[in-house]
Structure 1
Amino acid sequence: MSGSERDPVELGVELLAHLEHGELSVADALDRIETVTTNPQVQREILDTAVMRGIVEREDGMVRPRSQGTYVEFESDVVVREGDFTCQRCGSAIGTGHFVQFEGGELGPFGSTCIRKVLGRES
């Protein structure tokens, strides 16, 4: 896979592995997954893969991370670049893009407010 290609399932699973909340509704988890893909089949595959690998538990409409403390660190895991971008979450034009660095690839760009929402720092 080249640097510009990314596996949406792996990125989505990594995003779920870094949840900062003790639990999220499936709807809130899907809101985060939508930053990786809007394809409903791939979204389901992401959630199913995360459950199968033991990264999250899914029960009674809730998603719970199985490990704590693997949060994204803004200082080391988020790269900020200047340029002309479109926020991957809200679609707004932004001049400063925030990109999350995962092993499976880069997720972003996001604006300063949306990056906090994607990572669970604010609702």
Structure 2
Amino acid sequence: MTESDRTPRKERVELALDLLANLEHEQLPLPAAVDRIETVTTDPALVRRILDEAELRGILEREDGRIRVRRGGYVSFERDVVSREGDFDCRRCGASLSTGHFVRLDAGELGPFGSSCVRKVLGRE
């Protein structure tokens, strides 16, 4: 069982909504948004619930296979991303890491990620 499987569903939903509200780009393809949500949960029903809830809360709009973020800000690498040394596996790609990058969001912390994956998750690559 992974760490995200042990995190209560409500907390995973809030964390994913917070991540979506802080995407770097105003628009992106739906598969790219799903890729980011899957750093929180890979449960297909929960991914759909998160997208529906994001739309209900006015965080995003979905149209023609794209999403448009309607509110939020962006994650500052200097302020909101912390690095820790240790033995980690990247939440996005599964690679072994000696340095994990963690994103601090209002709803909680998301990570660990490798240096390139954290940039992809936040829309910087």
TM-score by length of 1: 0.91
Once the two structures are superposed, what CA deviation does each residue of 1:1-40 show, in whole Å capped at 9, x if it has no partner?
A: xxx9561100110110011112111111001110000000
2:118 is paired with a residue of what secondary structure?
Answer: helix
Amino acid at match of 2:110: L
Q: Which of 95, 99, 103 is the equivalent residue of 1:100?
A: 103
Once the two structures are superposed, what CA deviation does each residue of 1:83-120 show, in whole Å capped at 9, x if it has no partner?
A: 00000000000000000111211100000000000000
- The answer for the alignment partner of 1:39 in structure 2 is 43
Matches of 2:52 and 2:103, distance apart in 1: 22
- The answer for the alignment partner of 1:30 in structure 2 is 34
- In the alignment, structure 1 segments of 5+ residues that lack a partner are none
Count the aligned residue pairs: 118
Matches of 2:51 and 2:16, distance apart in 1: 8
TM-score by length of 2: 0.90
2:62 is paired with a residue of what secondary structure?
Answer: strand
- The answer for the alignment partner of 1:86 in structure 2 is 89
Matches of 2:29 and 2:114, distance apart in 1: 24
- 2:87–2:97 Cα contact (<8 Å) kept: yes
- 2:58–2:71 Cα contact (<8 Å) kept: no
| 4+ long deviations beyond 4 Å | none
Matches of 1:85 and 1:20, distance apart in 2: 25
Determine what percentage of the aligned residue pairs are the same residue: 61
- The answer for the alignment partner of 2:78 in structure 1 is 75
Shift of 1:67: 2.6
- The answer for the alignment partner of 2:25 in structure 1 is 21
Shift of 1:48: 0.7
Across the aligned residues of Structure 1 and Structure 2, the Cα RMSD in angstroms comes to 1.4
Matches of 1:96 and 1:28, distance apart in 2: 25
2:101 is paired with a residue of what secondary structure?
Answer: strand
- In the alignment, structure 2 segments of 5+ residues that lack a partner are 1-5
